[in-house]
């Protein structure tokens, strides 16, 4: 049995699957994708452990906002985000620390 497995992730982003179903998509270029899938495609992340970050759809996080999706950055887990459909994915990725911000 292996004691540990290595990944290239700098952080894990948790996206509430229940919230994503309630807002019925609303993200991506056509506005018809769930947030997790749209963010993965937008950032062109590699699949699995080889990516720079992991974007995981998880069960209910217990916030249940109306008309938004709950998102948690595992590296900064004190601040949770409530993301409304149609949100700018570039701004969201920057807020989650998934892209380098120009100085």
pLDDT digit string, tens, across residues 9-49: 999 999 999 999 999 889 998 999 999 999 999 999 988 89
For 37-68, the three-class secondary structure string (H helix, E strand, C coil) is HHHHHHHCCCCHHHCCCEEEEECCCCCCCCCC
Domain ranges of the chain: 12-95
What is the reported pLDDT for 69?
A: 97
* Burial of 88 per CB tally in 10 Å (0-12, 13-18, 19+): exposed
The alpha carbon of residue 62 and the mean position of all alpha carbons in its chain are separated, in whole angstroms, by 16
Determine the Cα–Cα distance for residues 19 and 69; give it in Å rounded to an integer: 5
Tracing tokens 């993200």 back to the chain, one arrives at 27
Give the residue-averaged pLDDT of 61-87.
95
pTM tops 0.85, yes or no: yes
Non-local (6+) Cβ contacts of 42 within 8 A are 28, 89, 90, 93
Does the pLDDT at position 75 exceed 60? yes
């Amino acid at each position: 049995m292996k004691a540990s497995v290595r990944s290239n992730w700098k952080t894990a982003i948790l996206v509430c699957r229940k919230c994503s179903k309630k807002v019925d998509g609303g993200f991506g270029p056509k506005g018809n994708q769930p947030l997790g899938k749209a963010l993965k495609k937008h950032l062109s992340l590699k699949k699995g452990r080889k990516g720079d970050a992991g974007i995981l759809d998880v069960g209910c996080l217990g916030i249940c906002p109306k008309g938004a999706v709950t998102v948690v950055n595992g590296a900064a887990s004190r601040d949770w985000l409530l993301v409304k459909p149609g949100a700018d994915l570039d701004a969201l990725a920057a807020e989650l620390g998934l892209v380098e911000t120009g100085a």
